[in-house]
Amino acid sequence: MYAYSDFDRDFLRARVDEFRGQVERRLDGSLSEDEFKPLRLMNGLYLQLHAYMLRVAIPYGTLRSAQMRKLAEISQRWDRGYGHFTTRQNIQFNWPRLTDVPDMLDALAEVGMHAIQTSGNCIRNVTADHFAGAAAGEVEDPRLTAELIRQWSTDHPEFAYLPRKFKVAVTASDQDRAVIKLHDIGLRLRERDGEIGYQVVIGGGLGRTPFIGKEVRDWLPKRDLLAYLEAILRVYNLGGRRDNKFKARIKILVHETGLEELRAKIEAEFASGRRLLPDVSPEITAQIAQGFAPPAFRDDPVVPFSPGPAFRSFLDTNLHPHKRADHVSVTVSTKPIGGTPGDVTADQMHVLADLAEQFGYDELRISHEQNVILPHIHRNDLGAVYDALAQAGLATANIGLVSDIIACPGLDYCALATARSIPIAQQISTLFGDLDAQADIGPLKIKISGCINACGHHHVGHIGILGLDRAGVENYQLTLGGDGTETATLGARTGPGFAYDEIVPAVGRLIEAYLDLREDRSEPFLQTYRRVGIEPFKAVLYGERDAKAA
């Protein structure tokens, strides 16, 4: 975990004071909305359909108990008693009053949190594998890298006004849980001849024009990381299309320039040795490493137990192997049947904070799949953790299943939305409410976005749903076969979209078809899709004849 110095604390206080003054000047009329808007956005404050929204950065999705408690307190005191965890491992408060926001930022600063760079054309919150530091098979904790990038990119003077927003994700496992190939820069730690370095992928992205990232370096020594990132960002900053917002991301630069030519530019810039910031000192590296030292894991021998059926399902679904055999990572679903993906109430946040403190070495994580993770739980504590989660309505045994849906806020909140996404997620979840039936369907990732910006990652859903406005009516496009992992693939569009009341039955038909088509229970949806292709699915969506026309 990062630790703030006096400098960091002073900096944050000064930023909050500055924003407080800006709010006052907005209220007394000395600042117009045109003048104020960029200032509020620099502090993570958006104006949405029904209210302001404050987006708070959770660096690489890691939280301590005190921070989770503070989020709960903020939601109770200044919002409506809940928060929304996002696909960028952040939290959003959906109902703040403008006049309360400086106080909310002050409260966040008390626990070393802020909303800086959660908006605007800058380097955003660096994301990482949510099992970082806990998962078996990691080269090293990817948060060491993410934290280094966080420190380097926060308020970076050269990259504060890029052509467009810029997102970096880091993983250190062969299994990519951080969606690195769909980021502007994706980093994968790897080991070669006893040395640790990076695979560097650039130009991935979702949105209007999705691209899978391309490898620009298969090996980058660790010591060169910031110099190389600076070279990429500098080439992008100068070459990115500022003339057209829709073509301004680095993915378009990679696409239009071609990987080889862009790589040559990046390498030339890197070789020039021009650096705005000095190299990282060994002291900083050591300080970061100290912040992420593994906790003092308990060595108690594991005591066998016999769980009841509900607990058994939870154990089957919500656990992930830990690097230590006597521990596991527990994923807490924020998606009860019929619930809103990513929403957690203040009371639930308190429960999670208490559990992390009592059983989880004070650590919590937020996943890009909008769930909460207790990364280090001793196996002997699973019963107590499960009981507390069940009491708080947090023990839904659906991780990786059909109701573990990613859904962006959509038209229930978002000013950019062209359709609702949350009610679609709720209805799909309710349709497949029975957890045994969900377990029978097996691993299936449904991802829903309420507009082309694709915050709900629909392009990489096994089933992706995109809500659009077609001549004043909500219409939902389906994509199939998307994959956000190390085998990243963009989903293929099935054909014409579906009306609001047709889309959930259409998803139902897709799943029925999969159950008919799969060889047996061991063949998950994605595998069946890859084996049989899109046609049988189109047939159940549109009928045999329309499928050909589609």
| Chain residues in the site for ligand SF4 (CB under 6 A) | 408-410, 414, 416-417, 449-451, 453-456
423 counts as binding another protein under rule CB under 8 A: yes
388 binds, among another protein, ligand SF4, none (CB under 5 to 8 A by kind): none
Which listed residue (52, 215, 337, 517) binds another protein by CB under 8 A? 52
Cα–Cα separations (whole angstroms), residue 534 to 119, 388, 489, 498, 543:
37, 43, 14, 17, 13
Of 228, 215, 21, nearest to 105 by C-alpha is 21
Residues in 460-479 at the binding interface with another protein, rule: CB under 8 A? 469, 472-474
Question: Least distance from C-beta 475 to another protein, angstroms?
Answer: 11
Q: Two tokens at 549? A: 């026309």
Which listed residue (126, 172, 422, 448) binds another protein by CB under 8 A? 422
468 binds, among ligand SF4, another protein, none (CB under 5 to 8 A by kind): none
Of 152, 170, 169, 150, nearest to 59 by C-alpha is 150
109 counts as binding another protein under rule CB under 8 A: no
What percent of the chain is helix, strand and coil (3-state, nearest 5)?
40, 20, 40
The smaller minimum CB distance to ligand SF4, of residues 25 and 165, is found at: 165
- The DSSP letter of residue 483 is B
Question: Least distance from C-beta 414 to ligand SF4, angstroms?
Answer: 3
Of 215, 218, 208, 214, nearest to 255 by C-alpha is 214
In this structure, what is the dihedral angle of CA atoms 497, 503, 505, 508, given to the nearest 10 degrees?
A: 90
Q: How many helices (H) and strands (E) does the chain have?
A: 17, 21
Question: Least distance from C-beta 52 to another protein, angstroms?
Answer: 4
Q: Quick one: which segment of 48-56, 120-128, 179-187, 196-204 binds another protein (CB under 8 A)? A: 48-56
- The DSSP letter of residue 73 is H
The smaller minimum CB distance to ligand SF4, of residues 20 and 493, is found at: 493
451 binds, among ligand SF4, another protein, none (CB under 5 to 8 A by kind): ligand SF4
Question: Least distance from C-beta 416 to ligand SF4, angstroms?
Answer: 4
50 counts as binding another protein under rule CB under 8 A: yes
Q: Two tokens at 133? A: 């530091």
334 counts as binding another protein under rule CB under 8 A: no
Of 112, 111, 109, 149, nearest to 127 by C-alpha is 149
Question: Least distance from C-beta 510 to ligand SF4, angstroms?
Answer: 22
Burial zone of 190 (CB within 10 Å; 0-12 exposed, 13-18 middle, 19+ buried): middle
Q: Site map for another protein, 338-377, x if CB under 8 A?
A: --x--x-x--------------------------------
How many CB atoms sit inside 10 A of residue 415's CB? 12
The smaller minimum CB distance to another protein, of residues 352 and 540, is found at: 352
345 binds, among ligand SF4, another protein, none (CB under 5 to 8 A by kind): another protein
408 binds, among ligand SF4, another protein, none (CB under 5 to 8 A by kind): ligand SF4
Cβ atoms of residues 53 and 46 within 8 Å: yes
CA distance 320 to 187: 22
CA distance 390 to 388: 5
User: What is the 3-class SS of 393-449, one letter each residue?
Assistant: CCCCCCCCCCCCCEECCHHHCCCCCCCCCHHHHHHHHHHCCCHHHHHHHCCCCEEEE
Question: Least distance from C-beta 51 to another protein, angstroms?
Answer: 4
The smaller minimum CB distance to ligand SF4, of residues 396 and 475, is found at: 475
Q: Quick one: which segment of 10-18, 238-246, 419-427, 484-492 binds another protein (CB under 8 A)? A: 419-427
97 counts as binding another protein under rule CB under 8 A: yes
Binding positions for another protein, rule: CB under 8 A: 26-27, 29, 33, 47-52, 80-82, 96-99, 340, 343, 345, 411-412, 417-418, 420, 422-423, 469, 472-474
